[in-house]
Amino acid sequence: MRRPALSRRSLLSGLGLGAVGIGVGTLAAAGADGGPSWPQYRYDATGAGYAPDRTAPRDEPTVRWRYEVEHGGFSSPAPICHDGRVFQSFGERLVALDAETGAVAYELTNRDRRFLSTPAVADAAAYVSPALVTAWEQGYQSLGIDGGLDLPATDERAFTSRWHVGEESDDAIGSTITLDSGWQTPPVVVSGTVFATGDGIAALDASSGRVRWHRETSALTRPAVAGGTVYLPSYGGGASLVALDASTGERQWETSLGRGPRIQPVAANGLVYVTRDERLVAVDTESSDIRWRFEAGENERFVTVPVVREDTLFIRSRWSDGEDGYGGRLYALDAASGTEQWAVETEIPGDDEIPPVAAGDTLLLPDQDTLLAHDAETGDELWRFEGTYNVSSPAVGDGTVYLSDADAVYALEGSA
């Protein structure tokens, strides 16, 4: 999928800020009512995909509720959950569902600026409530987490966004993040800052959409943000990993990786992990040196972003025997050294598989039409849920897993 250049003109235009109150929001791992929160894709800005205080079912779950998708048959971005609600994008629609019952809290419809990514919850200091930020065709947009500025919410209604950046202005100063019409890279949020990527990267103020900084880069993936630094790949004249100061966008270092990381970086334990086909590389965040490499076997390649759970890294691969035989494998590596701890055979993953996540001591592996649960200590399969087509990356509450596929959004519950 080609993405047009991320330029400054529409980054600086079309903000449309409307204030409803002054307050300071503090986004934490729990919502305002103390309920569990999974506030953005892969849980947090590091991309590690690990929520230590979340619990997933350990035995075969049951479907607590199911929300049918209108005009299904296609994939949907992953859901998130926050403050007792599950949020799901469907292109022209964004739906907020009660996390306990699946009842519709509100539904927003926008045919001009469709909701094209997993939303992210962001602190918005100029507002009483946090913001929901999503990608649209030509940039990113923000709305109130309670449904916009014109409450109470009703189905199929118009709403007012807090701000949007996009190529809609004649302002000649610069242009915007411009994207394609398909599903987009989800925004990354750290407190009141939104990091957005196209063919470049920008840091946006979550309250106003104001551009704090913008850097041209060839990155097409979700960045990792940890310890005040943004990590992202670059492909100009060869592949490299770039570290930028999260506050200013100034370059801190760049390390050549030879062959490029085709999947987004993951930051944890003072390292950044990137993958490219048959190779997994760990880069030291302080020295920028390559700490270790792990090579897949013959006729084997890695197909997902890794999950880092404390001192263990998990990654999936796909292998063939060179003839008609295929298989999948789940590896557990020492995150500091890259030493293999164990490997187990799994279902055959597809190409560019949706990345797994970890909640407590449970690994959750989306696998085309199936969600697999594995024990993080042993690799043993615990259970599997059969969906339809394109099972999403899940969001996890206390003992509940939320996910979507081509036909529905589900809440799966079981003993944790």
Return d(Cα 363, Cα 129) in angstroms, integer. 32
**Taking residues 76-104, what's their average pLDDT?**
92
- 382 within some domain: yes
Return d(Cα 181, Cα 273) in angstroms, integer. 30
- 395 within some domain: yes
**Taking residues 74-86, what's their average pLDDT?**
89
- 244 within some domain: yes
Return d(Cα 5, Cα 34) in angstroms, integer. 41
Return d(Cα 391, Cα 330) in angstroms, integer. 18
Question: Mean of the per-residue pLDDT values for the chain?
Answer: 82
Pick the range with the lowest mean pLDDT from 135-149, 240-254, 358-372: 135-149
The identity of residue 416, as a single letter, is: A
- 375 within some domain: yes
Residue 139 has what pLDDT? Answer: 82
pLDDT at 76 over 80: no
Beta strands 357-359 and 50-51 are parallel
Q: What is the CATH number of the domain that holds 78?
A: 2.130.10.10
pLDDT in tens, 129-186: 899 999 887 788 888 898 755 343 344 444 557 777 765 533 322 234 444 445 688 9
- 195 within some domain: yes
- 4 within some domain: no
The range of the structural domain enclosing residue 109 comes to 50-413
161 or 244: which carries more pLDDT confidence?
Answer: 244
- 355 within some domain: yes
pLDDT in tens, 182-203: 568 899 999 899 999 876 899 9
- The structural domain count of the chain equals 1
Cβ-based neighbours of 152, under 8 Å, separated by 6 or more: none
User: What does DSSP assign to residue 268?
Assistant: E
42 or 110: which carries more pLDDT confidence?
Answer: 42
